[in-house]
Amino acid sequence: MTDESAAAVMTSAQSGQDDVLVRVDNLVKYFPVRTAGYVRRTVGHVQAVDGVSLAIPRGKTLGLVGETGSGKSTLARCIAGLLPVTSGKVTFDGDDITNLSRRKMIPYRREIQMIFQDPYGSLNPRRRVGAIIGDPFAIHKTVAGNERKRRVQELMERVGLNPEHYNRFPAEFSGGQRQRIGVARALALRPKLIICDEPVSALDVSIQAQVLNLLADLQRDYGLTYLFIAHDLEVVRHVSDSVTVMYLGRVAEEGPRDPVYRTPRHPYTAALLSAAPAADPDAAASRQRIILTGDIPSPIDPPSGCRFHPRCPKARELCSQEDPPLEVKAGDGPTHLTACHFPVEAGENLAAAAAARRDAK
């Protein structure tokens, strides 16, 4: 990594609140691409996460946005210790937890829990709900027997499930109820950090609101810190204190929620925001969508320079040559950082530029 990005790490870390629960420094996660067969040569790397830094203040919610393949979930799994990190550092509550062995990680497992995307895949279909929610107690040997059952039933009640359904199987619950089971399991050990990996993406809109409200209530009551991953921008706006936008394994833009949503500086953020559906038909009709060309490039062979440049309506020569540092742009607050050579200015018509670029192709 270059000096600029190291400097950006410092700014992003120092400019936030002092009481930081989770800090990620320059995290890199490459998956080797190997040939098939017995002699498996490594022929390349999927650069899933390539030098990402984050800081999540205690008791706050950081929203992580990006399209499929941007490395959000990989980043989450690296923080949760489910994937070994290629390089970089994850600090939790002041302790370095990067690449700890399973045994050394156990105390931190109690503090860091995850809620998964798929409410059908994340619950073992052959085990009863009581056993699933009681798993954290069983694994960490905290409470057992009737006390465990009592605690599990308390948890079920807390997340809005009927404690009588202790003996049911996951298949007997609806998607929203299943996600509540996942929340209860994550909550069992009273963690400090809950990583929500697209917790509501698989749910109906009406159910989404219920689960989001439940998460908000739990945050208020237990002082939880959330890393909230989603591709639904409105959901992220609803829950987050600050937002990080990822593109192809890098941070494109980060900052407090309102400035990022009101005045996005990175063309990618602007395009994402313009694509989000609006509830008001008049607003939707008058809005100009920035339509990007092409798909997200392969993370095995990412574009040179700024990774967004092949799709960017504002891309120039410089963008394909030089990697833009993540830094404060003119007119932004001290915590609003953008990795772009030519950030979006107020009143600029990106939609027209994107359309012109499409026509040119």
Partner 1 sequence: MSISGLEFQAAAVEGAPEQAVEGRSQWQLTWRRLRGDKVAVTAMIVIVVMVGLAIAAPAIAALVHHPPNIAYPNTGENAVGNPVGPFTNGFWLGTDDTGRDLMVRIFYGARISLFVGIVTTAIGTFAGVAVGLIAGYFGGVVDTILARFIDAVLAFPYVVLALALAIVIGPSLTVIIGVISFFSWAGISRIVRGQTLSLKEKEYIEAARSLGAGPFRIMFIDILPNLLAPVLVLATLYIPSAVVFEATLSYLGLGIQPPTASWGNILAAAQNFYQVAWWYTVFPALALLITTLAFNLLGDGIRDAMDPGTERLLAARRGTKRRRLERRAMKGAGPSDAFPDPPRQAQPPAGLG
Per CB under 8 A, residues contacting partner 1 are 77, 80-82, 102, 105-106, 109-110, 112-114, 116-118, 121-128, 135-136, 139-140, 146, 149-150, 153-154, 157, 163-169, 172, 182, 185
CB 67 within 8 A of CB 233: no
3-state secondary structure (DSSP) of residue 317: helix
3-state secondary structure (DSSP) of residue 253: strand
CB 336 within 8 A of CB 265: yes
Nearer to partner 1, 162 or 213 (CB): 162
Measured from the CB of residue 300, what is the shortest distance to partner 1 in angstroms?
A: 20
Measured from the CB of residue 38, what is the shortest distance to partner 1 in angstroms?
A: 8
Nearer to partner 1, 109 or 336 (CB): 109
Within 8 A by CB and 6+ apart from 65, the residues are 72, 230, 231, 233, 236, 243, 244, 245, 246, 272
Measured from the CB of residue 230, what is the shortest distance to partner 1 in angstroms?
A: 17
Nearer to partner 1, 128 or 231 (CB): 128
Nearer to partner 1, 173 or 308 (CB): 173
CA distances from 290 to 162, 231, 235, 245, 355 (A): 46, 17, 21, 17, 8
Nearer to partner 1, 228 or 308 (CB): 228
Measured from the CB of residue 27, what is the shortest distance to partner 1 in angstroms?
A: 18
Measured from the CB of residue 296, what is the shortest distance to partner 1 in angstroms?
A: 21
CB 326 within 8 A of CB 310: no
CB 255 within 8 A of CB 237: no
